[in-house]
């Protein structure tokens, strides 16, 4: 074990004890070598040591696998990014007529579909689960924003992307991902189904409560949600997958496809952060570009970063709802220790009290409402969970403590403390000098109209 990686693991051990995170797996790929380790335990109820090969739910990191599979099918001529989805999914019905007519795969992969994104249901474990989600549930899903107008993180779009993969390949979504991605890359520790997971050491999720972490149930997120976030994997498999997105030859994707996935496209926060095709991207301190994706399921949080030109990747998998308190600090330490680079937070800028009052209000979304109020030196964000994941009747999780926010432009804010520390937000859709939405956690929450 290199000294740099040993320091990373030691820091992880300190952080999991400080924040009462039960366990984590950490892996780094650098100079062609993989180093991986586990810290903590798989479950507070039935603890086993986390190892480098412990399987975690990687959540929405799955979306980059979906994007990679689609780009392979585009290369083969089986799919088109800009063809209307109704041509790829015959009989497609969406609630908004314009979206039904014009929505494309590009809209789904860039989170610009505009329909409610956190839209979940459990439709059983049959091979028809994804088809039923598209045919029975998506026609009822409200359109919150105009098609293509605004980035807002959209899980529901990946039901459509996954269904397009099924129809293009004639396979189930899970079988197609295995054939298009896992087998060509030799990923032998990745799976979707609980019956495959339970044969190996795996982590269970935990909800962080005042008394400490509590095992989260249910463990599965349901088969209908496999395309938005169903992969279970290890840090080793994620790092082997990362190599397919490095510069140079790739066993699964042409250079043009990787460029399309990694090139900054739609703005996600201000001018600094963007999404390509599933990959989020920003520049490091020297201009080097990093691509990344996080993942969150019921009590499991994951972080995954790739620096293609440096042939570097980091995966951090945790089994706690507050795992973000581990993932970002380890990322900053890793790029500093291995690459001598930094990804600094922006400097705050002072704004007039009237500006603070103008953005105050309640902003609503499917899973959690955000209440913004002026604070002593900036804003205070109060997040109020509403429940609804992984099933419509799932209860809300605990309410996090208030989060202080500071402006670093006239529209963008940074969380400076608490479980969302380092998170960025943006106020947009300005009308009459007031915003109509607030994007935080990548979701554009609509401002509640005052009576």
402 in the same domain as 439: yes
Q: Is the pLDDT of residue 251 over 90?
A: yes
DSSP code per residue over 195-254: HHHTTS-BPPPEEEETTEEEE-S-----GGGHHHH--EE-HHHHHHHHGGGSSS--SS--
167 in the same domain as 229: yes
Q: What angle do CA 221, 322, 409 make, to 5 degrees?
A: 110
> Among the three residues 279, 310, 344, which one is the final residue of a domain in this structure?
344
> At a CB cut-off of 8 Å and minimum separation 6, what does 352 contact?
none
Q: What average pLDDT does range 178-191 have in this prediction?
A: 98
416 in the same domain as 334: no
Work out how many domains the chain is built from and give that number.
2
> Among the three residues 295, 322, 344, which one is the final residue of a domain in this structure?
344
- The number of beta carbons lying within 10 Å of the beta carbon of residue 51 is 15
pLDDT, position 375 = 79
From CA 242, how far away is CA 251, in angstroms rounded?
11
Judged by average pLDDT, the poorest of 220-234, 304-318, 345-359 is: 345-359
Query: In 3D, which of 340, 184, 262, 239 has the Cα closest to residue 32?
Result: 239
379 in the same domain as 258: no
102 in the same domain as 73: yes
| Chain segment 255-286, per-residue pLDDT in tens | 999 999 999 999 999 988 999 999 999 999 89
259 in the same domain as 195: yes
Contact between 90 and 131 under an 8 Å Cβ cutoff? The reply is: no
DSSP code per residue over 392-430: TTPPP-PPPPPEEEEESSSSEEEE-SSTTTT-EEEEES-
377 or 311: which carries more pLDDT confidence? 311
From CA 133, how far away is CA 162, in angstroms rounded?
11
Contact between 260 and 277 under an 8 Å Cβ cutoff? The reply is: yes
372 in the same domain as 285: no
pLDDT, position 225 = 98
> Among the three residues 344, 373, 399, which one is the final residue of a domain in this structure?
344
The range of the structural domain enclosing residue 234 comes to 1-344
| Chain segment 9-40, per-residue pLDDT in tens | 999 999 999 999 999 999 999 999 999 999 99
Q: What angle do CA 332, 39, 58 make, to 5 degrees?
A: 70
Contact between 115 and 95 under an 8 Å Cβ cutoff? The reply is: yes
251 in the same domain as 375: no
From CA 104, how far away is CA 65, in angstroms rounded?
18
160 or 375: which carries more pLDDT confidence? 160
Q: What average pLDDT does range 46-68 have in this prediction?
A: 98
Dihedral over alpha carbons 20, 23, 29, 35 (to 10 degrees): 120
| Chain segment 83-138, per-residue pLDDT in tens | 999 999 999 999 999 999 999 999 999 999 999 999 999 999 999 999 999 999 99
Look over the chain and give the mean of its residue pLDDT values, rounded to a whole number.
96
pLDDT, position 376 = 74
319 in the same domain as 404: no
Q: What average pLDDT does range 228-256 have in this prediction?
A: 97
Contact between 201 and 48 under an 8 Å Cβ cutoff? The reply is: yes
Query: In 3D, which of 359, 355, 309 has the Cα closest to residue 335?
Result: 309
User: Sorting pLDDT into bands at 50, 70 and 90, what band is 419?
Assistant: confident
254 in the same domain as 189: yes
Task: Classify strands 412-415 and 206-209 as parallel, antiparallel or unpaired.
Answer: unpaired
| Chain segment 361-416, per-residue pLDDT in tens | 999 999 999 999 997 778 999 999 999 999 899 999 899 999 999 999 999 999 99
Burial of 393 from C-beta contacts in 10 A (0-12 / 13-18 / 19+): exposed
CATH code (residue 219)? 3.40.710.10
- The number of beta carbons lying within 10 Å of the beta carbon of residue 342 is 12
From CA 217, how far away is CA 394, in angstroms rounded?
10
Q: Is the pLDDT of residue 451 over 60?
A: no
User: Sorting pLDDT into bands at 50, 70 and 90, what band is 210?
Assistant: confident
373 in the same domain as 340: no
Letter string b/e over residues 285-308, b meaning 16 or more CB atoms within 10 A of that residue's CB: eeebbbbbbbbbbbbbbbbbbbbb
233 in the same domain as 129: yes
Question: Does this model's pTM top 0.95?
Answer: yes
Q: Is the pLDDT of residue 444 over 60?
A: yes
Which tokens in the block code for residue 297? 């399921």
Task: Classify strands 206-209 and 212-215 as parallel, antiparallel or unpaired.
Answer: antiparallel
């Amino acid at each position: 074990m290199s000294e740099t990686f040993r320091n990373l693991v030691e820091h992880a051990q300190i952080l999991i004890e400080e924040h009462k995170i039960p366990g984590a797996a950490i892996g780094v790929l650098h100079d062609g070598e993989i180093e991986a380790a586990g810290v903590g335990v798989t479950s507070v109820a039935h603890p086993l040591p986390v190892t480098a090969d412990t399987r975690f739910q990687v959540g929405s990191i799955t979306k980059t696998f979906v994007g990679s599979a689609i780009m392979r099918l585009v290369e083969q001529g089986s799919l088109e990014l800009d063809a209307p989805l109704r041509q790829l999914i015959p009989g497609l019905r969406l609630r908004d007529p314009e979206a039904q007519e014009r929505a494309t795969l590009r809209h789904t992969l860039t989170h610009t579909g505009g329909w409610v994104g956190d839209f979940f249901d459990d439709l059983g474990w049959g091979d028809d689960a994804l088809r039923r989600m598209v045919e029975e549930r998506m026609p009822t899903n409200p359109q919150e924003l105009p098609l293509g107008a605004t980035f807002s993180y959209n899980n529901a779009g990946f039901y459509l992307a996954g269904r397009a993969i099924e129809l293009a390949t004639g396979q189930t979504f899970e079988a197609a991902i295995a054939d298009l991605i896992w087998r060509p890359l030799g990923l032998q520790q990745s799976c979707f189904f609980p019956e495959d997971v339970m044969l190996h050491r795996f982590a269970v999720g935990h909800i962080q409560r005042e008394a400490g972490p509590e095992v989260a149930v249910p463990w599965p997120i349901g088969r209908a949600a496999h395309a938005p976030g169903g992969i279970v994997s290890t840090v080793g498999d994620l790092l082997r997958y990362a190599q397919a997105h490095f510069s140079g030859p790739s066993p699964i994707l042409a250079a043009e496809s990787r460029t399309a996935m990694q090139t900054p496209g739609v703005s996600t926060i201000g001018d600094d952060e963007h999404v390509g095709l599933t990959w989020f991207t920003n520049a490091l301190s020297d201009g080097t570009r990093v691509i990344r994706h996080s993942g969150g399921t019921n009590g499991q949080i994951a972080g995954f970063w790739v620096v293609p030109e440096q042939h570097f990747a980091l995966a951090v998998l945790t089994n706690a709802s507050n795992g973000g308190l581990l993932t970002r600090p380890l990322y900053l330490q890793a790029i500093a220790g291995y690459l001598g680079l930094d990804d600094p937070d922006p400097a705050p800028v002072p704004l007039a009290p009237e500006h603070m009052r103008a953005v105050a209000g309640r902003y609503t979304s499917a899973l959690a409402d955000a209440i913004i109020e002026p604070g002593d030196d900036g804003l205070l964000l109060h997040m109020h969970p509403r429940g609804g994941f992984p099933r419509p009747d799932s209860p809300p999780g605990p309410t996090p403590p208030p989060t202080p926010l500071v402006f670093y432009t006239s529209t963008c804010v940074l969380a400076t403390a608490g479980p969302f520390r380092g998170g960025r937000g943006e106020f947009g859709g300005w009308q009459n000098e007031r915003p109509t939405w607030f994007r935080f956690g990548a979701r554009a929450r609509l401002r509640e109209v005052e009576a």
